[in-house]
């Protein structure tokens, strides 16, 4: 007898084993894994794009490092350190670059002083987290970390909707100077939505040191606070100038488990960074004031590589002449020379456009 139809109820739970499934039998549409392009809500998680340079010194200051990643210290901490992009990454992962934070001056933060490394995510990229809805999905953060200073550190996920919300997790660096992969999973926040806009709506924060004021117990349930919140178990990474920590392979994705790191082509990865920062080092934007006619000057204008998140700030070097007017939009930039400088030229160079969060 030929059986053409087997009732579903007739298949035992263990009847179809993996070995019995042909290699090409399961199509992508049937696969039960997170096979979504651009699943990583973190941009430049492999630390490979570094438009601002590869070495950054901080002394009583905060600022951006490799693209999209920001170092911050608050009042009560000086955060004197050097942050570098390194060619040191965990083996057999495909990762090539990492960020190293090396302490330059030992300190113990006081009061509400915090020192942390973070990425800020805009609301447009948070929609799949479904915060504020009745049953938001889980999210999973994965990263690789290495440090000579072992112990307990904390990661804060900070929602910045109408009310500040957070979850806070401990993770442990167990073996000195050894790459370790950390995975943290939590359920989305049902209470406070993350607005769908271009503003800062979520932060992933790796705490490094903190004063006593902001220390709380870790929690996987969303709690209310608009402040940095640091685990009471957090080590003081800044207690010795020999301390250094490496981080790379950062991925934040929807789901209850970590999938492989999503590698993007370098041009795609770079273009994603361009939404927030664009560097045109050595590029010269010329303007010319025509001799004999002050009313028919030439100006210089340029369109960005990609539309920026917001109207950016501009940093530039004005090599000759005088800049009279600048028009800045999220799509391009134009500059005009001073009208009294007839017969001269003006150029601005080393242009940087910053629309970071």
- Residues in contact with another protein by the rule CB under 8 A: 61, 198-199, 309-316, 324-328, 336, 354-357
DSSP class of 306: S
- Identify which of residues 259 and 329 has a Cβ nearer to another protein in the complex: 329
What's the helix, strand, coil split of the chain in %, to 5?
10, 40, 50
To the nearest whole angstrom, how small is the minimum distance from the Cβ of residue 198 to another protein?
Answer: 6
Whats the size of the chain, residue-wise? Answer: 357
Task: Find the angle CA(205)-CA(211)-CA(214) to the nearest 5 degrees.
Answer: 60
- Identify which of residues 107 and 356 has a Cβ nearer to another protein in the complex: 356
To the nearest whole angstrom, how small is the minimum distance from the Cβ of residue 70 to another protein?
Answer: 10
Beta-carbon count within 10 A of 37 CB: 8
- Identify which of residues 192 and 310 has a Cβ nearer to another protein in the complex: 310
To the nearest whole angstrom, how small is the minimum distance from the Cβ of residue 352 to another protein?
Answer: 9
C-beta separation of 127 from 133 below 8 A: no
- Identify which of residues 187 and 328 has a Cβ nearer to another protein in the complex: 328
To the nearest whole angstrom, how small is the minimum distance from the Cβ of residue 325 to another protein?
Answer: 4
Q: Give the tokens for residue 29.
A: 């549409």
- Identify which of residues 165 and 309 has a Cβ nearer to another protein in the complex: 309
Distance in angstroms (rounded) separating the CA atoms of residues 195 and 11: 46
Residue tagged 């951006």 (tokens): 64
Give 204-227 as a DSSP string. EEEEEEE-GGGEE--EEEEEE-SS
Please give the C-alpha separations between residue 207 and each of 152, 153, 248, in angstroms, as whole numbers. Answer: 10, 7, 15
Distance in angstroms (rounded) separating the CA atoms of residues 226 and 117: 17
C-beta separation of 245 from 130 below 8 A: no
To the nearest whole angstrom, how small is the minimum distance from the Cβ of residue 311 to another protein?
Answer: 4
To the nearest whole angstrom, how small is the minimum distance from the Cβ of residue 52 to another protein?
Answer: 11
- Identify which of residues 57 and 163 has a Cβ nearer to another protein in the complex: 57
Distance in angstroms (rounded) separating the CA atoms of residues 246 and 98: 6
- Identify which of residues 139 and 335 has a Cβ nearer to another protein in the complex: 335
- Identify which of residues 185 and 199 has a Cβ nearer to another protein in the complex: 199
C-beta separation of 174 from 75 below 8 A: no
Beta-carbon count within 10 A of 20 CB: 8
The helix/strand/coil state of 132 is coil
To the nearest whole angstrom, how small is the minimum distance from the Cβ of residue 258 to another protein?
Answer: 31
To the nearest whole angstrom, how small is the minimum distance from the Cβ of residue 296 to another protein?
Answer: 14
């Amino acid at each position: 007898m030929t059986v053409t139809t087997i009732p579903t109820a007739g298949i035992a739970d263990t009847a179809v084993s993996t070995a019995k499934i042909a290699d090409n039998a399961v199509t992508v549409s049937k696969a039960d894994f997170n096979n979504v392009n651009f699943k990583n809500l973190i941009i430049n998680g492999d630390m490979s794009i570094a438009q601002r340079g590869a070495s950054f010194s901080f002394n009583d200051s905060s600022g951006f490092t490799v693209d999209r990643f920001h170092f911050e210290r608050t009042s009560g901490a000086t955060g004197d350190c050097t942050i570098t992009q390194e060619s040191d990454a965990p083996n057999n992962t495909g990762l090539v670059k990492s960020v190293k934070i090396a302490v330059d001056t030992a300190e113990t933060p006081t009061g509400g002083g915090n020192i942390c490394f973070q990425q800020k995510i805009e609301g447009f990229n948070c929609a799949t987290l479904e915060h504020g809805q009745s049953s938001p999905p889980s999210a999973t953060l994965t990263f690789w970390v290495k440090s000579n200073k072992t112990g307990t550190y904390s990661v804060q996920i900070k929602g910045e909707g109408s009310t500040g919300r957070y979850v806070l997790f401990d993770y442990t660096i167990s073996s000195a100077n050894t790459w370790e992969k950390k995975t943290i999973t939590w359920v989305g926040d049902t209470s406070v939505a993350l607005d769908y806009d271009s503003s800062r709506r979520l932060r992933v924060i790796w705490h490094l040191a903190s004063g006593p004021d902001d220390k709380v117990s870790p929690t996987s349930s969303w709690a209310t606070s608009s402040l940095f919140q640091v685990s009471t178990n957090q080590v003081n990474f800044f207690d010795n100038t020999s301390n250094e920590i490496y981080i790379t392979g950062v991925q934040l994705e929807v789901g209850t488990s970590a999938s492989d790191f999503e590698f993007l082509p370098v041009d795609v990865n770079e273009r994603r960074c361009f939404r927030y920062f664009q560097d045109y080092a050595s590029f010269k934007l010329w303007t010319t004031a025509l001799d004999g006619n002050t009313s028919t000057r030439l100006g210089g204008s340029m369109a960005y590589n990609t539309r920026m998140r917001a109207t950016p700030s501009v940093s530039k070097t004005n090599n000759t002449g005088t800049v009279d007017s600048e028009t800045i939009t999220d799509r391009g930039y134009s500059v005009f020379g001073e009208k009294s400088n007839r017969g001269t030229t003006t150029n601005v160079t080393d242009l940087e456009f910053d629309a970071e969060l």
